[in-house]
Amino acid sequence: MMAKYIGRRLLQSLFVLWLVATLAFGALQLTPGDPAQALLAASGATSEEIARQRAELGLDDPLLRQYARFLGELVQGDLGRSWLHGRPVSRMIAEQLAPTAELAGVATAVGIAVGIGLGVLAAIRRRTWVDAAATAVAVVGISVPTYWSGLLAILVFALHLRWFPATGSGSLRHLVLPALVLGFALSGSIARIVRTRSVEVLDAQFILAARARGLPAHRVLFVHVLRAALGPAITVSALQLGFLLGGAVITESVFARSGLGQLAVEAILWQDVPVVRGVVLFSAVAFMLVNLLADLLQAWVDPRIREAL
């Protein structure tokens, strides 16, 4: 049953991947400007030299042939070579993957922990000032852009209190501020869904009955509410991976960290098409895999879903 489900999901993913690849190819065709000129203009290259470079990059070929070549290489797992650096795109992505994964992973953990904490707190103290405060914090998390909260965190925790370094990567201490900033931004949407789900559980007939029979409050909280809240929290954080990758771009830039975000920004600025395409495709694959994983995790947490598969 499970294997069939996974197989179907993977097949769907393959279709989505082709769609993403085609969109990425098309969108980059539509961006104005000539990459060959962007590479060489400042060096004083003549128009013939720029034309030669354009031919070299295969930009003179008919669109369909370029598309076929791109797909053909993609099927073989080849993302091409960077026009700017001449190195294989897959290797460049591999180099930048670890710092981004590290940031995204820790930020997700922070986001889930803070989000569940806020959401459950708001639910059990419903319609009190605690609820209002927790909801307010969640709204702030959702609405404040990370480039602002990041700079604020640097100002307070690095410049004034000097607890953590402002910038850079490498050690755990470097990870604290960016992970907190990104995790906090993530926690807002998690807190909201967790609060809703917890309220449902707390209001449920079986909980009322259990409490009437004298089930202690902490058992209600830890066994019933938390378990019910965990599922939606996982789904939301998986769905937020897109946000997380986007947020990582900004967070990486604010905290001067290396990673996929920095790679993408440079590639976009220079119209280094293979690298942009590579990062987009890679993000799509990561997004799909994580969501598949989240669904399986949820099935594991929630027996009803497991049986429905």
Partner 1 sequence: MRYILLVLVLLTFLLTSCAPQTHQPLVYGLTLAPSGIDPHVNASSELGIPLSSVYDTLVYQDPATGEFVPGLAQRWDVSEDGLVYTFYLRDDVTFHDDTPFDAEAVRFNLERITDPALASQKAAFMLGPYARTEVVGEYEVQIHLSEPFAPLLDALSQVYLGMASPTAVEEWGDEYQLHQVGSGPFVFAEYVPGDYLLLRRNPDYAWGPSIYQHDTAQVEEIRFEFFTDPATRSPALETGEAHIMGEIPPQDAVRLTEDEGFYVEAAAIPGVSLMMFMNTTRAPLDDPLVRQALLYGTNRAAIVSTAFRGTSPVAYGPLAAVTRGYDPAVEAYYPYDATTAAALLEQAGWVDADNDGVRERDGEPLTLEMYLMGWGYMPEVGQLLASQWAEIGIAVQSEVVSYPEALEIGAEGRHHLIPFNLSGSDPDILRKFFHSQASFNWAHIDDAEMDGWLEEAARTSDETRRDALYRQVQLRVMDQALVLPIRDYVNLNGVSGSVSDLRFDAQGWFPILIDVTLEE
Among the residue ranges 4-12, 132-140, 173-181, 286-294, the one whose residues contact partner 1 (CB under 8 A): 173-181
Q: Quick check: 151 binds partner 1 (CB under 8 A)?
A: yes
Q: Return the biggest CA–CA distance within the chain.
A: 87
CA dist 110 and 182 (Å) reads 9
Q: Which of 72, 105, 168, 216 binds partner 1 (CB under 8 A)?
A: 168
Contact 279, 92 (CB under 8 A): no
d(CA 58, CA 68): 12
Residue 67 touching partner 1 (CB under 8 A): no
Q: From the CB of 31, what's the least distance to partner 1, in Å?
A: 8
Residue 184 beta carbon to partner 1: minimum distance, rounded to whole angstroms: 18
Q: Which stretch binds partner 1 (CB under 8 A): 3-11, 12-20, 127-135, 250-258?
A: 250-258
Measured from the CB atom, is 35 or 188 closer to partner 1?
A: 35
Asked if 132 interacts with partner 1 (CB under 8 A), we say no
Rounded Cα gap, residues 309 and 299, in angstroms:
8
| In the complex, least distance from residue 240 CB atom to partner 1, rounded to whole angstroms | 23
Q: Are 103 and 179 in contact (CB under 8 A)?
A: yes
Beta carbon of residue 301, minimum distance to partner 1 (angstroms, whole number): 23
Beta-carbon-side half-sphere exposure of residue 155 (alpha carbons within 13 Å)? 6
Binding of partner 1 at residue 84 (CB under 8 A)?
A: yes
- The encoded tokens of residue 109 equal 């953990």
Span 21-40, contacts to partner 1 by CB under 8 A: 31-35, 37-40
Does the protein bind partner 1 through residue 167 (CB under 8 A)?
A: yes
Q: Is 271 left (phi over 0), alpha (psi -120 to 50) or beta?
A: left
Q: Which is nearer to partner 1, 265 or 296 (CB)?
A: 265
At 118, give phi and psi (nearest 5°).
-60, -45
Alpha-helical segments (H) within the chain: 2-30, 35-40, 47-56, 63-75, 89-124, 129-143, 146-153, 172-203, 205-212, 217-219, 226-239, 241-254, 260-269, 273-301, 303-308
Instruction: Rule CB under 8 A: say whether 50 interacts with partner 1.
Output: yes
Q: Does 44 bind partner 1 (CB under 8 A)?
A: yes
Footprint on this chain of partner 1 (rule: CB under 8 A)? 31-35, 37-47, 49-50, 52-53, 56, 82, 84-88, 92, 95-96, 99, 147, 151, 154-155, 158-159, 162, 165-174, 176, 253-256, 258-259, 262-263, 265-266, 269-271
